[in-house]
Amino acid sequence: MSSTCNSFSHSNSVQALPHCRVCGERQLALFAVIDLKTYWRCAHCEATLLADAHLPTQNEELARYAQHKNDPHDAGYQDFLRRLVHPLMVELPPPQVGLDYGCGPGPALAKMLTEAGHEMHLYDPIFHPDTSELERQYDFITCTETVEHFHQPRVEFRKFNELLRPGGWLGVMTNFQTDDAQFAQWHYRRDPTHVTFYRKATFARIALDLGWEYQFPARNIVLMQKPRDMR
């Protein structure tokens, strides 16, 4: 299952990557060429990235998202999202103000969190493109099945840092990339809109760069907290 989102910050470069789009370091090496597409591996943060030349266009993304069927009333889909909701709610007693970033056309997660007593706001560059939601700060941000679509993850995570209040939480759900031998056949890679693949070490590096704390409370889930003391 995958949320329908996004067309976030895009890169128009058709050259080989000069630096990692996740951590910014110039430590990329060729990881694989699969179906005529080049993938890079960063030695610094361990991210795997589809080369710029193969990034999908917005029209190609839209065609793919139109195939997704994420009904906010679907009990199975809600069970899937609870893998993030349960550990996040341990850290977030209601009522607090949250942003569902990359919510898609059927924001099931926002519905669940609203029912739990939180005030939820929505942002998705295609389905909920109200940029005024990006002009305030939040107690928490949820980002489910979204970060793998980011063309410029470094930009996006720094945006999250600005959007979170001191002490705020970011909850991310994405399939962590763990098995290099199965990468070519991995269903997550075969989605043409999935262009950035993360490991635990990748999120640890992102957190270190931003000065955040982090934890992995469940499979394919990371919670990250902006420090309360910003001195």
Q: Say whether pTM exceeds 0.85.
A: yes
Does some domain include residue 10? no
Q: Which domain holds residue 60?
A: 28-225
Question: Is residue 230 one of the residues assigned to a domain?
Answer: no
Residue 17 lies in a domain: no
Number of domains in the chain: 1
Helix axes 108-115, 75-91, angle to 10 degrees: 50
Residue 173 sits in a domain whose CATH number is 3.40.50.150
Chain segment 82-106, per-residue pLDDT in tens: 999 999 999 999 999 999 999 988 8
pLDDT in the model for residue 229: 80
> Do residues 138 and 99 make contact, with C-beta atoms less than 8 angstroms apart?
yes
Digit-coded pLDDT (tens) for 40-60: 999 999 999 999 999 999 899
Does 231 reside within a domain?
A: no
